[in-house]
A = this chain, B = another copy of it.
Amino acid sequence: MSNNSKDTIFIGKKPLMTYVTSAIIQLATMPLITIKARGMTIAHAVDVAQIVLQKTKPAFVIGDVKIGSESLVSQDGKNRDVSSIEISLKRAEA
């Protein structure tokens, strides 16, 4: 689940630093990006956001953090509710 459209980063199974690098590159040209994750990768989304802030201090700040639940069809065909998070990172006001 790694479909990095222009200003969104979906956290999948790759190493954290892959997403950290993508985020920093996108933030170089975009005022705001959104890190998205579902299920157990939610913790990694928070890690990625924190590492980006640490490495680029004080350039960026956390914008909105939204949590929710999505209904997905699992491999056995059953509907399952999976938690989700969206973390936006934006340029700090000068």
A residues sitting closer than 8 Å to B (CB atoms) are 39-43, 46-47, 49-50, 53-54, 62, 65-69, 81, 83-85, 87
Contacts and interface: CB of A to CB of B under 8 A. Distances in A.
- How many copies make up the complex? 2
Nearest to A42: B43
A79 to B, nearest CB: 13
Given A65-B66, A67-B62, A67-B65, A46 B42 contact: yes
Nearest to A84: B46
Nearest to A87: B67
A11 to B, nearest CB: 11
Nearest to A50: B69
Contacts of A87: 67
